[in-house]
Structure 1
Amino acid sequence: MSHDGLSTRAVMRSVAFLTAGALTLPVLTACSSDDRASAPAAAQDIALTPRDKVADGATLTWAVDALPETLNAFQADADAATTRVAQATLPAMFRLDAQGRPQRDPDFLESAEVVETEPRQVVLYKLNQQAVWSDGREIGADDFAAQWRALSGKDTAYWTARNAGYERIERIDRGANNLEVRVTFAKPFADWRALFTPLYPKDVMGTPDSFNDGARGKLKVSAGPFAVQKFDTKAGEATLQRSARWWGGPAKLDKLVLRAVPRDKRAAALAAGKVDLAEVDPGEARRIALAARDRGTSGPLAHGPGAAITPGQALRSWALAHGEDEEAAEAEQLARARTRKAVEKYADEQAGLRDLTVRKSLEPAYTQLALNGSTGPLSDERVRRAVARALDRAELASVVLSPLGLPAKPVGSHLALAGQPAYTDSSGALGKQDTAEARALLADAGWVPGGPVKGTKDAKDAKEKAEDDAKKAGADPDKASGSGQDGSDGAYIVGRDDPKPGDLPVSLPAPAAAAQRTAVARQAALFAPAAGEDGEQARRQDGPQRIGQGGAPGAYAPKGTAAPRDPSAGASPAEAAAGPLAKDGKPLTLRFVLPSGPGSEALRAVGERISRMLERIGIRTETTKVADDSYFKDHIASGQYDLALYSWPGTAYPATDARPIYAKPVPAADGSLNVEQNYTRVGTDHIDQLLDQASSELDEKRSRDLVRQADARIWAAAGSIPLYQRPELVAVRKNVVNAGAFGFETPIYQNIGLAKSPGRK
């Protein structure tokens, strides 16, 4: 899978301490349920074409990250390729539309509705009378019942990855006939549409053995426009062929081949015609755009290997290759030969890319900054909130999306994406970007600038340096250190030009530093920004003159004291001398873990920007780049990080699917912490209660309101900060239609194919 990457779309539906604190928060209510859902941030791009304009026949090869380990979507090692196979070959009661809303699939379902709510919720499914499995057996209540028993969680012999919703079912009965299925719930379940999609035959779900092993590498019985013909793990291919038993509109393709192609090999595979459709990274997308631009041109390409060599460098290379130094000449000749070979290969690939186009949209997934709240400085909610308030999320979204021509608006919800009914921007519960407020929060948590750090020369020489600085400033060391007879904490503050409201001092004469560390921490809350939407600090109209409009909370200076400098101007010499923020002899440094593999360049670029933003408020980061295969397992899931970037998918069922991601971790029987999928380890009882209420509320508007309230609380807890919706870039041959960047919508596989040639009937 890609890393922006570490989208856990398959995981979210499969598997998948700290209270809000005493800080005063902005209002945490969300918009009313009467709000209309916004439009998706970007429309899908699939070359939508009527079926009568799509040719019959042909084979389409679709690149996937890896051949699925299992074809059973309810097992822990199911992935995105498993989902592709299931969507093309198995029944789905509901599919998602372009706005991410569940819609009844008429090929399988005539109707489905809640027919009773008291004393129990009862849903009545009426199946399409033509719906049959590929072996000719009617799809019916027996299949529903077998899937419920397998996924209910009551029989541990079934190796299931998830049972959300199925554990609430009390019983399943036949209605008037086998095509009517009555599902009775022991506890109300708002997201009942999420169940029985995909639906497996009772041959797979009927026994633990058949569930655990029967559908891992084969799917003998299916019910969809395609059926699994071959599953070749050695070749890395799964071949789906048009199903002869399909009762709906016949598949336009003869075959659909899913081929495993690594991300860094996809441009070559597309150019060679080995793949017809593939998700690509921005680098490959640019190559395809350049190939189209260069069509019909002659001469060497102005991009690719060797294109950056200047005339001077070329002349020097020729001179070395033909010089008298035989050893140097041989090495240079080999280098020139390698470059020529690379240029020729690149040019050939560019020629092969000219018949491709890139379809682009925004994927139904978002990238977040995760803050590990289990240990270290981030266990303090004030520090997490300071990190969040330091981020310019609009800038971070622009880094990734603007170069691609995609909307660069930050994501405003953890639980829904723009266009979905439950979406509303609840980021106001945390507050807008505000450097001054971020510094004030750190000061309130005891992290102050210029503090001596244990084990460093600062600690050893702090007192001596303070006295020297005091003498240079012409101050009495005793008074400057806070021991003045007037009882003041010292008023000699060297700040920065052009202050922002609430700015903390970044440099003090060292005699005043110790006293100011205490004063800032003690008084920050008294002069914190008012709770207005603009986040600006309320001013005091009395008392001594403040430093500019902000300055250190509670700190004053005589007239004529230098005004603070703008933080964006960079650190002043005085600030550099002050050293990092420190507390109890320890500097404020956070471990930032990022993936190192191809395809994660965007994550690393965003990580660098975040590090610079945090440096402005005195937080230093130590970035560690780790291999892709260990990034999630060995660092994110195990909690070996302070900051990390990874993605979560959007879902049509946030109350159910998001519950394990934001649930408050609880101690397990063996003494460990059960975090489910909450890898930030940040959660509250209130969030759990709101999501539980939303999942049990059958009034859809009320359920959405509860989801929005939960999202506001998740923002306030500051365990994860949504940044931007992930780009979806799909390279595809120009004559392929009804496929590409699908956005929210579930692909309609029987409509995918090649456009008819002009004049062809």
Structure 2
Amino acid sequence: MTAVLAGCTSSGGVHPDGGTPTKAVEYGTQDINSRPLNQLRQGGTFTLATPQWATQYNFNQTDGALDQVAQIDSLVEPVLFRLDAKGVPHANPDYLASAAVTSTAPQTVTYHLNPKARWSDGKPLSAADFAAQWRALGTGDERFHIADPSGYDRIKDVRQGADAHEVKVVFRTPYADWQRLFTPLFPAPAIATPERFNRGWINRIPISAGPFKIASMDRTAQTVTAVPDPRWWGTPPRLDKVIFRTLLPDAAQQAFLNGEIDAVNAATAEDYAKLKDAKDSEIRTGSSWDDVHVSLNGAGGPLADIDVRHAVQRAVNREALAKVAAEGLPIGVPLLGNHIFMTNQPGYVDHSSPWGTYDLKEARRILDRAGWKSRGAGEPRVKDGKELRLRFVLSTATNRLGLDLAQLIQQMLAQAGIAVDITKVPANDYAAKYLFQGNFDMVMFRFTGLTYPSSTVSIYQQPKGEQAFLNYGRVSDAKLDGLLKKAAGTLDRTRATELYNQADAEIWRLGHDVELYQRPQVIAVRKGLANYGVPGLGDLDLAKVGWERRSSGG
């Protein structure tokens, strides 16, 4: 998923009292106030803030690849597998009686669907839904504007099995992370044509099959309200209502302090200081797959030159950014040396040297060799009469720390003779008009929840025609593309990890981005809120979220 949000913390965590840096939380640590449903009261409202108003609610469509869209879709569409706190997938019995690899030559996955599972139009879930999703995402039809074909592009056939509740998915080449496919599953009638796939989910969710349904999408108030779906065949949700309010970070924090929303980010020193002692609240912390980086646009402008990208990498002092960002937080925030595995995740190897190592002199030498001539301190370099000037695009939803980090990067690059113009754009335009369109030289944002290693493939694969997938800066090459696809198809976990690490070394060499840090999960939540917070490597199930009987929340 993509969370279009600039830097929220950084590495080199410093203890709140100014002492030694604290260690990163163990990978997969969960802090959700886990409670059985019988300990929760029936009813209540849960209100969350989102930083921008989404208009595309098909998560698989390019413009829909946003964290808040994933949250909303998970309420109302089939989630076939859920990840536990350690990142292990488990079939969701509300939709699947079973799912398993039933043949290896070729790899075939057989799904047995829960016969009770039905779409809001009354039709049961079926092979037709699986087939429509595969055709949209995996057959290379460029009329479907897709965010991520990974895994779907390896499927040879999807067909009905022994009966209407059995689905067989046959792969052309093996795919290790097959459980990540078809989650969420979308209804065939709403995605079967390019028009329906691209346009049919704008400001609406046409068909659903989840514990909740959408009650309203108020574009004026910029709120989405979900309520329990009376047609739901599974365990009824405890909540009466889930509300998503579009609020910029400062407004969200104030809304939390005023008791208007029930959870808010506290992963900056400034926010943590304001929220840690807030009335009727508590801090929940943990570790997840959460990567903050500065993406570099290699499709045009000065950064199309790999030497300029390398100079940017070498001129950014990641450690200095870390000290600014991590001070005052209760948990450690490590630098990232890998794009695929987090620092405390099995398989992590630091490949940041030399590209992620700060060396201003080397940055200047690289630019000299590339023909960018210095005009002295404080002046941008020039080549062929053009100044070396980059446009760093930020959303108005960027928090104070994100702006501070951007300004520090601006100052660092100026010392190498690279001018940076920071441009703020409206939060609701940032994703669709800038990030997704490659309309930037530099952007800072996060990828979150990519626990399956193959989830990262579309971030670094070679674009195809107008399709950039999630590789917004369009930096890749055939070697990287091949390594990633080979890794995704390698069923031996040890060998796959080796291949992913070879790919990571190539990502660094290509100057795809300036990798920054593994963002910690630090959130303030209303006291008494159960089964919500930091899920480790797992998924939050909002159908199980509720208020403890003794709480006054909601």
Query: Aligning the two structures, in what range does the TM-score lie when normalised by the shorter sequence?
Result: 0.7 to 0.9
Q: Which residue of 1 aligns with 2:461?
A: 663
Equivalent residue for 1:694, pick from 467, 475, 487: 487
The structural deviation recorded for 1:689 is 1.3
Post-superposition Cα deviations, 1:410-442, rounded to whole Å, max 9, x if no partner, equal 012122323545533222364643455545545
1:113 pairs, out of 100, 115, 131, with 100
Query: Structure 1 residues 606, 207: closer, same or farther in 2, change over 3 A?
Result: closer
Once the two structures are TM-superposed, the CA of residue 108 in structure 1 deviates from its matched residue by 2.5
The match for 2:5 is 4
Change (3 A) 1:423 1:131: farther
Is residue 81 from structure 1 mapped to residue 68 from structure 2 by the alignment?
yes
RMSD between aligned alpha carbons?
3.8
Distance, in Å, in 2 between the alignment partners of 1:220 and 1:644 is 33
Q: Distance in 2 between matches of 1:580 and 1:367?
A: 29
Task: Provide, for residues 224-263 of structure 1, a one-character-per-residue CA deviation record: whole Å limited to 9, x for no partner.
Answer: 3323333443443333223344444332212222233343
Change (3 A) 1:731 1:706: same
For the residues of structure 2 that align with 1:161 and 1:596, how far apart are their CA atoms?
A: 21
2:261 paired residue number: 275
AA aligned to 1:93 is L
Q: CA deviation at 1:749?
A: 1.8
**Distance in structure 1 (CA, Å) of the matches to 2:149 and 2:467:** 17
Residues 345-380 of structure 1, C-alpha deviations (whole Å, 9 max, x = no match): xxxxxxxx5223343445633222334445666555
Q: Deviations over 1:36-62 (max 9, x none)?
A: xx9755834322223333222222222
CA distance in 2, matches of 1:150, 1:584: 44
Report how far residue 196 of structure 1 moved.
1.1
Helix, strand or coil: the match of 1:427? Answer: coil
- 1:625 correspondence with 2:418: no
Does the Cα contact within 8 Å between 1:594 and 1:603 map onto a contact in 2? no
Q: In 2 relative to 1, CA 238–114 (structure 1 residues): closer, same or farther, beyond 3 Å? A: same
Q: Distance in 2 between matches of 1:582 and 1:200?
A: 51
Equivalence for 1:185: 171
Match of 1:603 in 2: 402
Q: Secondary structure at the match of 1:199?
A: coil
* Residue 172, structure 1, aligned to residue 97, structure 2: no
> What is the SS of the residue equivalent to 2:293?
strand
Shift of 1:275: 2.3
Contact 1:4 1:726 in 2 (8 A): no
Cα deviations by residue, 1:208-228 (Å, 9 ceiling, x for unpaired): 666556554555653333233
Matches of 1:727 and 1:115 in 2, distance apart? 39
Residues 608, 228 of structure 1: alpha-carbon distance in 2 compared, 3 angstrom cutoff: closer
> Equivalents in 2 of 1:643, 1:202: separation in Å?
38
Q: How many Å separate the matches in 2 of 1:700 and 1:271?
A: 46
Residue number among 97, 109, 121 corresponding to 1:123 in the alignment: 109
**Count of matched residue positions in the alignment of Structure 1 and Structure 2:** 532
- Counting aligned pairs with the same residue, the percent is 33
| Greater CA drift, 236-245 or 174-183 | 236-245
Q: Which residue of 2 aligns with 1:651?
A: 450
Counterpart of 1:139, as a letter, is L
Structure 2 counterpart of 1:223 = 209
Q: Of residues 52, 73, 94 in structure 1, which corresponds to 2:81? A: 94
Q: Distance in 2 between matches of 1:407 and 1:42?
A: 14
Question: Which structure has the larger Rg?
Answer: 1
The DSSP-based 3-state class of the residue aligned with 1:693 is: helix
Letter in 1 for 2:503: A
Q: The residue matched to 2:353 in structure 1 has which SS?
A: helix
The 8 Å contact of residues 4 and 431 in structure 2, kept in 1 or not, is answered as: no
CA shift in 2, pair 1:640/1:85, >3 Å: closer
Change (3 A) 1:171 1:376: closer
Change (3 A) 1:115 1:583: same
Distance in 1, matches of 2:452 and 2:348, equals 12
Change (3 A) 1:412 1:40: farther
Contact 1:394 1:409 in 2 (8 A): no
Q: Hey, what's the Cα distance between the residues in 2 that align with 1:638 and 1:144?
A: 29
Instruction: State yes or no: 1:396 paired with 2:321.
Output: yes
CA contact (8 A) 1:175 1:181 kept: yes
Match of 1:197 in 2: 183
Please state how far the C-alpha of 1:713 moved relative to its aligned partner. 0.8
Query: Which residue does the alignment assign to 1:240?
Result: 226
Relative to the length of structure 2, the TM-score reads 0.81
Q: Give the match's secondary structure for 2:62.
A: coil
- Alignment partners' CA distance in 2, 1:365 and 1:212: 28
Partner residue of 1:31? Answer: none
How far off is 1:134 after superposition?
A: 5.3
| Bigger share in helix | 1
Aligned letter for 1:627? V
Native 8 Å contact 1:91 1:198 kept in 2: yes
Matched-pair contact (CA < 8 Å) for 2:267–2:329: no
Q: 1:64 aligns with which of 47, 50, 55?
A: 50
Q: Which has the higher contact order (CA 8 A, sep 6+)?
A: 2
User: In structure 2, how many angstroms separate the alpha carbons of the residues matched to 1:377 and 1:160?
Assistant: 28
Q: Does 1:752 align with 2:545?
A: yes
Contact 2:133/2:192 (8 A) holds in 1? yes
Partner of 1:411: 336
CA 1:434–1:735: 2 relative to 1, 3 Å: same
Match of 1:708 in 2: 501
Helix, strand or coil at the partner of 1:428: coil
Tell me the SS of whatever aligns to 2:90: strand
The separation in 2 between residues aligned to 1:438 and 1:732, in whole angstroms, is 44
What is the CA deviation profile of residues 634-674 of structure 1, one whole-angstrom value per residue up to 9, with x for unaligned ones? 6656666554433333513443x4344323467x5xxxx87
Listed as ranges, the matches of 1:344-493 within 5 Å are 354-361=279-286, 364-373=289-298, 378-428=303-353, 430=355, 432-435=357-360, 437-438=362-363, 441-442=366-367, 444-445=369-370, 453=375
C-alpha distance in structure 2 between counterparts of 1:159 and 1:381, whole Å? 28
Q: Tell me the alpha carbon deviations over residues 282-306 of structure 1, each in whole angstroms, 9 at most, x when there is no partner.
A: 45543333xx3xxxxxxxxxxxxxx
Give the unaligned 5+ runs of structure 1: 8-37, 293-352, 454-574
Alignment match, 1:722: 515
Counterpart secondary structure, 1:107: coil
2:274 equivalent in structure 1: 287
Change (3 A) 1:39 1:140: farther
Contact persistence 1:40–1:99 (CA under 8 A): no
Once the two structures are TM-superposed, the CA of residue 677 in structure 1 deviates from its matched residue by 4.3
Shift of 1:400: 1.7
Residues 415 and 53 of structure 1: is their aligned pair in 2 closer, same or farther, counting only changes over 3 Å? same
Residue of structure 2 equivalent to 1:511: none
Which of 516, 521, 525 is matched with 1:732 structurally? 525
- Cα pair distance change 1:724/1:88, threshold 3 Å: same
Distance 1:442-1:170 versus aligned 2 partners, 3 A rule? closer
